[in-house]
């Protein structure tokens, strides 16, 4: 596996990748889009920070890419839609730089309040000016925190230590949670009107871009101070420039810019603006931590294991990984199996989860079932990231039903596929010894261990059929490893599930199909 590291990521933190002998890690920084496109097909994984943009063109050219790792939080430099469509997992490291970004914000707020950078520059010019740099205290000022996620909350907590009055806005934080956090939550307009300092801790989204603009600045107190240590563009830069010039905004502390590197940004010409070159996450501790987290996640994706910090597929907690782990393989098997016994285009799949499993978010299992279902037709172009989109694009309706109560088994997954009036069902479970079993096919009960090569033979329930089928297979040199027969009534249609050692020659299948008493033969390759 080859891993391309496009931005400077703390090498020690990448230990998990370096220690794995199957990994080859290449560092190439500051490449242009064209340069990355030229080498992208050689790589299975790409790692970035915020500088390198992983565009659709790069993703489309990266024919072997399985995972994009972001050593940090914001993934706005990665075309997530393009990655999802290509089945590429995007993972980030959401926790490792929280404190670094928090402390940077607090540092910027103090520096802004007390004009520290401006005074320092004057001193550098050998000017001892104490009058020009009189600042304000944080105590008793109101800090409006927009975005009460990991960083916003930590900022709020520290601001309280400065005896600030902290108010917050986050549409995803309800009243109950705000009481727990001990932050007065208000709507955005109220926050703008109430705050002496406003700090944003938001992801870059369509909704948050330009959230602070001429109109919203007009709602703020005269002399407000604004901080952005989140993402360039959340504050409309020209609007901020004008508001500072007009004296409405007293000052701003900016770590992130719409266009980075921000060398020629007009905001940098204003003495009221203090700025850093996107340093929020730049501490030794944070860089080690995000590198470590992302390396571990990337390794897991490359090894086909579930991950916690996937951005474009449901992330799985450790508890869920423990709970779902054994069922992931079974889900894929069920999907693959049923796709191969269905000879009509599938219009609908109903997935019934019964038992303890039903308590959990089972999107991962559903995606894996869909991946299995589509694989026989679409091969490697489908995986558990893009499977739901691919299924939707192919007009397959997916229904998920969960029922906790169940007799006989701890858990049961039952699939029912439908198309052109044909219906098939298949159920499987995991036994307490960890073994996967198929326990029902087209309403016939069974107890079959799924194996790589299998034959499904509906036949007439009469004496001699097992020998008959065995003979045909023997004639074509097909060795039978195991066989099971299910039936609903004596003398009716029975179903034979045969495990064989290898794939079956077409002639053998044809010979079986035309044999007396055999209604159909399906070869299933898992």
Determine phi and psi for 139, rounding to 5 degrees.
-55, 135
- Residue 49 binds ligand HPV (CB under 6 A): yes
Task: Choose from ligand NAI, ligand HPV, none: what does 203 bind? Cβ within 5-8 Å by kind.
Answer: ligand NAI
- Residue number with the smallest Cβ distance to ligand NAI: 149
| Residue of 13, 67, 84, 97 that binds ligand HPV (CB under 6 A) | 97
| 304/59 Cα distance (integer angstroms) | 20
In the bound state with ligand NAI, the residue whose beta carbon lies nearer, of 68 and 455, is 68
- Nearer CB in complex with ligand NAI: 230/469: 230
Which stretch in 274-282, 316-324, 453-461, 512-520 sits in contact with ligand NAI by CB under 6 A?
A: 274-282
**What gap in Å lies between CA 107 and CA 123, rounded to an integer?**
20
Q: Is 278 a catalytic residue?
A: yes
By CB under 6 A, residue 31 contacts ligand NAI: no
Q: Which of 153, 158, 231, 459 is catalytic?
A: 231
Closest distance to ligand NAI from the beta carbon of 232 (Å): 9
Residues in the interface with ligand NAI (CB under 6 A) total: 33
Using the Cα atoms of residue 226, residue 231, residue 236 and residue 241 in order, give the sign of their dihedral.
positive
In the bound state with ligand HPV, the residue whose beta carbon lies nearer, of 92 and 195, is 92
Can you count the helices (H) and strands (E) in the chain? Answer: 17, 22
Q: Which one of ligand HPV, ligand NAI, none is in contact with 49 (Cβ closer than 5 to 8 A by kind)?
A: ligand HPV
Q: Are 17 and 298 in contact (CB under 8 A)?
A: yes
| Burial grade of 243 (CB within 10 A; 0-12, 13-18, 19 or more) | buried
Written as one string, the DSSP assignment of 293-313 is: HHHHHHHHHHTT---S-BSSS
Contact of residue 233 among ligand NAI, ligand HPV, none (CB under 5-8 Å per partner type): none
- Catalytic residue at 231? yes
Is the Cβ–Cβ distance between 3 and 24 less than 8 Å?
Answer: yes
Residue among 144 and 280 whose Cβ is closer to ligand HPV:
280
Instruction: Output 135 or 314, the one with its CB closest to ligand NAI.
Output: 314
Q: Is residue 281 close enough to count as binding ligand HPV by CB under 6 A?
A: yes
- Rounded Cα distance between 459 and 494, Å, is 5
Q: Which of 164, 49, 148 is nearest to 102 (CA)?
A: 148
Render the burial of 307-333: b for 16+ CB within 10 Å, e for the rest.
bbbbbbbebbeeebbebbebbbebbbb
Interacting residues of 167 by C-beta distance below 8 A, sequence separation 6+: 142, 143, 144, 145, 183, 184, 185, 186, 190, 191, 194, 195
Q: Cβ atoms within 10 A of the Cβ of 150, count?
A: 17
By CB under 6 A, tell whether 166 contacts ligand NAI. Answer: no
**In terms of CB distance, is 74 or 251 closer to ligand HPV?**
74
Write the binding mask 347 to 386 for ligand HPV: x where contact by CB under 6 A, - elsewhere. Answer: ----------------------------------------
- Residue from 5, 73, 78, 512 touching ligand HPV (CB under 6 A): that is 73
The reply on whether position 48 binds ligand NAI by CB under 6 A is no
Distance (Å, whole) CA 207 – CA 189: 15
CB of 318 to ligand HPV, least distance (A): 22
Interface with ligand NAI, residue 70, by CB under 6 A: no
Among this protein's residues, is 260 annotated catalytic? yes
Which residue in the set 13, 69, 74, 147 belongs to the binding site for ligand HPV (CB under 6 A)? 74
Question: Could you say which of 104, 201, 278, 459 is catalytic?
Answer: 278
Residues 6 or more apart whose Cβ sits within 8 Å of residue 347: 395, 396, 397, 418, 419, 420
Distance CA 426, CA 424 (A): 7
Give min distance, CB of 425 to ligand NAI, in A: 41
Going by the DSSP 8-state scheme, the letter that residue 256 receives in this structure is -
Measured between alpha carbons, how far is 508 from 432 in angstroms, rounded to an integer? 37
Nearer to ligand HPV, 6 or 316 (CB): 6
Our CB check for ligand NAI shows the closer of 256 and 415 to be 256
With CB under 5 to 8 Å by kind, the binding choice for 142 among ligand NAI, ligand HPV, none is: none
What, of ligand NAI, ligand HPV, none, does residue 128 touch, CB below 5 to 8 Å by kind? none
Helical pair 98-114 and 116-124, crossing angle rounded to 10 deg:
70
Residue whose Cβ sits closest to ligand HPV: 72
- The phi and psi torsions of 483 (rounded to 5 degrees) equal -150, 145
Min dist. Cβ of residue 276 to ligand HPV (A): 11
CB of 50 to ligand HPV, least distance (A): 3
In 194-233, DSSP assigns E strands to: 197-200, 224-228
Q: Is 414 helix (H, G, I), strand (E, B) or coil?
A: strand
Binding test (CB under 6 A) with ligand NAI, winner from 124, 126, 128, 172: 172
Q: Where are the alpha helices (DSSP H) in 40-95?
A: 56-61, 80-85
**In the set 5, 46, 146, 212, which binds ligand NAI (CB under 6 A)?**
146
The region of 29-37, 223-231, 422-430, 450-458 touching ligand NAI under the rule CB under 6 A is 223-231
**What residue ranges bind ligand HPV (CB under 6 A)?**
49-51, 71-74, 97, 278, 280-282
**What residue ranges bind ligand NAI (CB under 6 A)?**
72-74, 94, 97-98, 101, 146-152, 169-172, 201-205, 207-208, 229-231, 255-256, 278, 280-281
Residues annotated as catalytic are: 231, 260, 278
């Amino acid at each position: 596996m080859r891993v391309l590291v496009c931005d400077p990521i703390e090498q020690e933190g990448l230990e998990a990748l370096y220690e794995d002998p199957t990994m080859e890690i290449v560092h190439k920084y500051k490449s242009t889009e064209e340069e990355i496109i030229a080498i992208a097909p050689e790589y299975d994984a790409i790692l970035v920070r915020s500088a390198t943009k992983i565009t659709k063109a790069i993703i489309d050219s990266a024919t072997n890419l399985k995972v994009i790792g972001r050593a940090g939080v914001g993934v706005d430099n990665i075309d997530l839609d393009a990655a999802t469509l290509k089945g590429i997992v995007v993972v980030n490291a959401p926790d490792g730089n929280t404190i670094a970004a928090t402390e940077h914000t607090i540092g910027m707020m103090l520096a802004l309040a007390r004009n520290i950078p401006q005074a320092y520059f004057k001193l550098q010019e050998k000017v001892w000016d104490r009058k020009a740099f009189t600042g304000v205290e944080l105590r008793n000022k109101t800090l409006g925190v927009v975005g009460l996620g990991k960083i916003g909350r930590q900022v709020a907590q520290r601001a309280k230590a400065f005896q600030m009055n902290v108010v917050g806005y986050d549409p995803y934080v309800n009243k109950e949670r705000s009481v727990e956090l001990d932050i007065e939550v208000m709507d955005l307009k109220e926050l703008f009107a109430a705050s002496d300092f406003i700090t944003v801790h938001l992801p870059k989204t369509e909704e948050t871009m330009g959230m602070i603009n001429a109109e919203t600045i007009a709602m703020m107190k005269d002399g407000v101070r604004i901080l952005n240590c989140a993402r360039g563009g959340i504050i409309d830069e020209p609007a901020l420039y004008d508001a500072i010039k007009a004296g409405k905004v007293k000052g701003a502390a900016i770590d992130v810019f719409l266009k980075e590197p921000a060398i020629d940004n007009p905001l940098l010409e204003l003495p009221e603006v203090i700025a850093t070159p996107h340093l929020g996450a730049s501490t030794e501790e944070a860089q080690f931590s995000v590198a470590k987290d992302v390396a571990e996640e990337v390794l897991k994706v490359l090894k086909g294991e579930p991950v916690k910090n996937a951005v474009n597929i449901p992330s799985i907690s450790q508890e869920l990984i423990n709970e779902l782990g054994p069922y992931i393989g079974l889900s894929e098997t069920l999907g693959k199996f049923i796709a191969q016994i269905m000879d009509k285009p599938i219009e609908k799949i109903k997935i019934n989860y019964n038992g303890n499993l039903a308590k959990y978010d089972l999107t991962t299992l559903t995606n894996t079932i869909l991946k299995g279902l589509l694989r026989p037709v679409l091969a490697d172009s489908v995986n558990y990231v893009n499977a739901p989109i691919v299924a939707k694009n192919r007009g397959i309706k997916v229904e998920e039903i969960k029922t906790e109560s169940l007799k006989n088994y701890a858990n049961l997954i039952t699939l029912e596929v439908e198309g052109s009036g044909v219906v098939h069902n298949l159920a499987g479970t995991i036994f307490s010894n960890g073994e996967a079993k198929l326990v029902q096919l087209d309403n016939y009960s069974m107890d079959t261990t799924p194996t790589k090569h299998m034959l499904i033979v509906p036949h007439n329930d009469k004496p001699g059929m097992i020998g008959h089928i065995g003979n045909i297979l023997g004639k074509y040199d097909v060795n039978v490893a195991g066989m099971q027969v299910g039936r609903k009534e004596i003398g009716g249609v029975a179903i034979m599930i045969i495990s064989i050692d290898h794939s079956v020659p077409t002639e053998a299948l044809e010979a079986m199909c035309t044999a007396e008493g055999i209604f159909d033969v399906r070869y299933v390759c898992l």
